[in-house]
Structure 1
Amino acid sequence: MYRVLVVDDEPRVCAGIKDYLLSGPLQISDVETASNGFEALDCLRMDAYDLVMTDIQMGMMNGIELMEAILLEQPHLPVIVISAHEKFDFAKMSLRLGAKDYLIKPVELEELTQVVGRVLREKEEAGRLTLRESAPKDSSELLQKAKRQEALMELVTARELQEKDYRELLQDIGGTLKEQGASCGIAIVHLDLSKGGFSQQEITLGDRKLLKYASINILEESLSDWCGVAFNGFGNQLVCVIQLEAEEAAGTPLHLNSRLNLIGQTIVMNLKQYLNVTATVGLSSLSASLSMLPKLMEEAEAAIEWRKLHPDNRILYYADMASLGSLRMMDWVAKVEVLVQKLKEEDRSEGMEEDGSPQPRPVLGPKEELQAMLMMLDGLAGSEGLFHSCFGILVYRLYGLLFDYGVDKSDSFRRLDPDLYFRGMDPGVKSQALIRYMQELSVLLKACISERDQTVVTRIKTFIQSHYGNHELKIQDIAGEVHFSPAYISYLFKKETGANVWDYVSEVRMEEAKRLLAGTDRKRYEISYQVGYQSPEHFSRMFKRLTGITPADYRKAFRGN
């Protein structure tokens, strides 16, 4: 049985579609209605739906803005547009935002049944992908794909290429990438291939190759709106080159964040929906020149490595890393980077996978990594100058990490200043003291990270408490206030509070509504507007859903009348 949300500012249209769908031949058990995009988003955040049907021209938030919000928050949710406008621009924009169809009012009931039925069937059958049907059919196809793989790897790693080199590479790639006129970026996709497919069985080496091949096909289809091409990276990673048209990349930072979030969400959701594979995406910044692709590749690699510190976050941005001051960590030598990441993983409490199973613990922890590094340092004992240089790089960068994640706490930070901590020690004693230093650093670092995350969450809460009455409040507004991407603040807020951002917005709105109902004589519509709802009827529905009773009953119960 399916659940459908119908969004239209004409009540008779909503009622007509609702009555027809519930009484029609399709297995639809529930149809909810909303009169604008903001009401629709409230419904989508409260309940799960299989399909959204929306008008374009509506007050408050129109259908285009609603589809953009859906793509940010629930990119897998199919949308059908039903509009009285036949403008080509509306249809083009709707389809680009993922609309499954664009119907013109008045809609024939038979056509409505066919389109809704088709979209619901496609959603149900989307996961039934046969991997072996995607495999290359003959040797010539394999050779062509190998040539394309080589050209793509050259494009994102080779520096100082000439114009003719780019033209040759783009010809060998044979995709839709442009040499000029668009902004390019890199997305690195890390696949969890420990298990996958809809049977969730352990994946063999042969099936792993097929799964990666199928993932490339899905990625290129998913990213077709952004000229996307995908190819094999190292290990369980795939690399995507994306391009945004000049006008699309020329917006505000928030606009670009929304575009990049849409790309990341599309990748994660489509791989999960079609292959049941969990993926993490690392996204670079954007550049107008193909010559910058090697640098963007490094940015995406740095971003995807951040997953070791934040294993629950599926979309990681290079820009977020810069905002958090983590770039210095990512520039460290490989051994120092691994050690720091192991230190962070040990500080985290054991997480859970999406299916409820415990996350696997790393094979080597920071103690083992540190022992390996101590052996390397011992090997340098014959060269005192080289030993002190390598030791200094390690301890001072570890000490600098405290300042990346916290504010100088004077005595606490000074106590771990390497110049004071290791003063007067010979190389052998320094190596032994390093173990104790790491233990003390781990405790203080964990406290700094927790304090920083709580500060960001406090800023989010403060902004919501000051703006909950704005019925046009969006996740992008909150993200702009704290200068992080919408995906990151959603992840961080849930990690720190156990609730998502919109649950908190609704909680703040309802608490204020209760206060006004109990302590004032204001009318329902006045309270509705004050707490962020344009429609008193929608406010009443939300109030009852969240509190269990209507606003009128709450007022009577509180006043005893």
Structure 2
Amino acid sequence: MYNILIADDEPLICRGLANLLDSSGLHIQQIYTAHNGYEALDYLKMESIDLLLTDIQMGAMSGIELMQQAKIVKPWVQVIVISAHETFQYAQLAMRLGAKDYLIKPINSEQLLNSVRHVLLHMDRPMQDQAALLSDLRDHFRMDQPDPRKMDTLNRIVNEPSLEMGALAELIALEKECGIELRGPYYAMIKVRLDFASGGKTGGIAEHDAWLLRYAVLNIVSELLGKEWNHQSFYSSERDVSVIVQWDEMTYGDSSVDNINQLEMIGRSLHFNIRKYLGFQSVIGISQILKGREFLPELNNQVDKAIVWNRVHQDHYVFYFGDFKWGPLGEEPTDEDLAAQNNLIVEKAQEYVVANYAQKGLTLNEVAQKNHVSPNYLSYLFKKFTGTNLWEYVIKLRMEESKRLIMSTDLRRYEISERVGYESPEHFSKIFKKYFGMSPSEMKK
């Protein structure tokens, strides 16, 4: 049974889509509707949403921004975009953010249902146990194997920091022969490290089986990034798969996109899918973004350093290099330094939320930016240090303040809704009833 969220600022469209899906015969447990991006985000944070159908144009928060925030909160949520704009730029950006389809209004009912069925069918793919998975890979390993020369060349590019003119010319010639295109000028790296010891039942992985699983990871990378991302993926060790992501000036300069958040979304999605389909834990390292291919060895060094932090945070698996402070000579901080640094991040986040929880449209991304850390790391630290996730903390503050206003003032529902940061009184009432088990008017009585 699936939970579906429909986000559109036109109530008639929301009702029409909800009625269509409700009568479709699909295994749908609950359909939620939101009339703007902020309402939709509340549902994503509070409910178990499997599929999001979102409009592109929704006022204060666009469908693109909603997708970006959704992928930060729950990168595995599937998305279908509905738009009145048949614009290639919108469609391309939506697909880069992981949209499974891009439908143009007016919506064709059969087309929408076919799209939803297709997404739900792929979500329903059962996970094989590892013995069956390995057997299946052995039996069907007739796919095109990665070109060893290409793998070797990419490893040389990211591991050799300085080359003489002759060696550099030879390397560039090899790139052309292998079909490697590194035009940038902006680059980042992602590294996936498979933890074969986490597989459990198999009791160890044979060398050939490890190679097959690494090949499966390479295919997950290819499927996830597709043609929408300009990337090169390759084996970088016996248990590592590395990805070079690159942007041209126009793509990188798009002010509507937070490139680091997108990299983290890819990292979290990779971790989720490797665990889901291969049954193995992985650790993901993400570098900063630098301009110039000469910095690729530095980016490779950064992903290795980011992965090191899994030894400190063993219950966390996606690490962005920029979240961690290294000493002037590259030394890791002491346990005491790290604890103090993390405590300060959480304390500042709490202070910011207490001061701004009533702000309409407050997002995890905004709180993270004020703390100069990624949303992914802030979420992890906040839950680890406080025992509650950050958005639950925001809702607690909003609900406690709204209760105080109901009990001690004669303010109307819409006025209280406005004061605690909600776009609509109706949405405020839904959250209030879910939190307290009664409506605002029932509490007032």
The two structures share one fold, judged by TM-score above 0.5: yes
Is 1:488 the counterpart of 2:364? The answer is no
Instruction: Determine the structure 2 residue equivalent to 1:100.
Output: 100
CA distance in 2, matches of 1:554, 1:207: 61
**Aligned CA distance change for structure 1 residues 240 and 89 (closer, same or farther; 3 Å):** closer
Tell me the amino acid that sits aligned with residue 539 of structure 1. F
- Aligned residue among 141, 148, 153 for 1:135: 141
Matches within 5 A, 1:372-411: 401=333
Q: Tell me, what secondary structure is at the counterpart of 1:194?
A: helix
1:228-307 to 2 correspondence within 5 Å?
Answer: 228-250=231-253, 255-307=258-310
**SS of the counterpart of 2:291?**
coil
Aligned equivalent of 1:529: 418
Query: For 1:510-521, what aligned pairs fall within 5 Å after superposition?
Result: 510-521=399-410
Q: Give the TM-score normalised by the residue count of structure 1.
A: 0.72
Q: Which residue number corresponds to residue 88 of structure 1? A: 88
134 and 149 in structure 1: CA distance in 2 versus 1, 3 angstrom threshold: farther
How far apart, in 1, do the equivalents of 2:174 and 2:276 lie? 33
Residue 133 of structure 1 deviates from its aligned partner by 6.3
User: 1:553 aligned to 422, 442, 445, which one?
Assistant: 442
What does residue 146 of structure 1 align with? 148
The equivalent of 2:386 in structure 1 is: 497
| Code of the aligned partner of 1:116 | V
Deviation by residue 1:329-350 (Cα, 9 ceiling, x = unmatched): x54xxxxx7xxxxxxxxxxxxx
1:235 Cα deviation from its structure 2 partner: 4.2
2:63 maps to 1:63: yes
1:78 aligns with 2:47: no
| Counterpart in the other structure of 1:46 | 46
What residue is the counterpart of 1:374 in the other structure? none
Per-residue Cα deviation, 1:140-197 (whole angstroms, up to 9, x for no partner):
x65x62212211111111233345334323224424x32x34311222211121244x
Partner SS state of residue 107, structure 1: coil
Shift of 1:449: 4.3
- CA-CA distance at 1:253 after TM superposition: 13
Counterpart contact for 2:159–2:300, Cα < 8 Å = yes
Report deviation, 1:13.
Answer: 1.4
1:364-421 C-alpha deviation (Å, 9 max, x unpaired) = xxxxxxxxxxxxxxxxxxxxxxxxxxxxxxxxxxxxx56xxxxxxxxxxxxxxxxxxx
Residue in structure 2 matched with residue 362 of structure 1 by the alignment: none
Summarize the Cα distance change of 1:12–1:23 in structure 2 as closer, same or farther, 3 Å threshold: same
Q: Deviations over 1:181-235 (max 9, x none)?
A: 4311222211121244xx9644521322211111112123323433222222334
The answer on whether the counterparts of 1:186 and 1:284 sit within 8 Å (CA) in structure 2 is yes
Indicate if the aligned counterparts of 2:184 and 2:247 stay in contact, CA closer than 8 A. no
Pairing of 1:113-124 with structure 2 (within 5 A): 113-124=113-124
Q: Work out whether 1:168 is the aligned partner of 2:173.
A: yes
Q: Can you list the C-alpha shifts for 1:35-84, whole angstroms capped at 9, x where unaligned?
A: 01110110011111221111111122121111111222222211112222
The structure, 1 or 2, with the larger RCO (C-alpha pairs under 8 Å, 6+ apart) is 2
Q: Verify the 8 A CA contact 1:195 1:202 in the aligned structure 2.
A: no
1:473 is paired with a residue of what secondary structure? coil
Distance 1:271 1:502 in 2: 27
| Structure number with higher helix proportion | 1
Q: Which of 208, 212, 215 is matched with 2:214 structurally? A: 212
Do 1:72 and 1:258's aligned partners in 2 also have CA atoms closer than 8 Å? yes
Residues 23/126 of structure 1: CA separation in 2 closer, same or farther (3 Å cut): same
Gap change, CA 1:21 and 1:97, over 3 Å in 2: same
Name the SS for the 2:100 alignment partner.
strand
Query: Could you say if the C-alpha distance between residues 327 and 259 of structure 1 is closer, same or farther in structure 2, counting changes exceeding 3 Å?
Result: farther
Q: How does 1:296-445 map to 2 (within 5 A)?
A: 296-321=299-324, 324-326=325-327, 328=329, 330-331=330-331, 401=333, 445=335
Pair 1:479-2:368 in alignment: yes
Shift of 1:526: 0.7
Where 1:98 maps in the other structure, the secondary structure is coil
SS in 2 for 1:187: strand
2:36 and 2:203 map into 1 onto residues whose CA distance is 46
CA distance in 1, matches of 2:372, 2:359: 20
Over the matched positions of the two proteins, sequence identity in percent amounts to 36
Amino acid at match of 2:384: K
Structure-1 residue corresponding to 2:2: 2
CA distance in structure 2 between the aligned counterparts of 1:239 and 1:261, rounded to whole angstroms: 15
Q: Which residue of 2 aligns with 1:383?
A: none
Q: Which amino acid aligns with 1:503?
A: E
Separation in structure 2 between the aligned mates of residue 7 and residue 236 of structure 1, nearest angstrom:
41
Tell me, yes or no, if the aligned pair for 2:433 and 2:440 is still in contact at 8 Å: yes
Pick which of 254-263 and 458-467 moved more.
254-263
**Count of residues paired in the alignment:** 434
Range with greater deviation from structure 2 (86-95 or 206-215): 86-95
Which ranges in structure 2 are unaligned for 5 or more consecutive residues? none
- Residues 509-530 of structure 1 show CA distances to partners (whole Å, capped at 9, x for unaligned) of 1111111111111110111011
The one-letter code matched in structure 2 to 1:56 is I
Q: CA RMSD in A?
A: 2.5
Shift of 1:88: 2.7
Letter in 2 for 1:278: Q
Provide TM-score, normalisation by structure 2.
Answer: 0.90
Is the contact between residue 183 and residue 243 of structure 1 (CA under 8 Å) also seen in structure 2? yes
> Distance in 1 between the 2:3 and 2:23 partners?
14
Q: Computing the radius of gyration over CA atoms, which structure comes out larger, 1 or 2?
A: 1
1:170/1:327 CA distance change after superposition, 3 Å: farther
Contact 1:254 1:476 in 2 (8 A): no
Counterpart-to-counterpart distance in 1, 2:250 and 2:139: 38
For the 8 Å contact 1:186–1:239, the answer to whether it is kept is yes
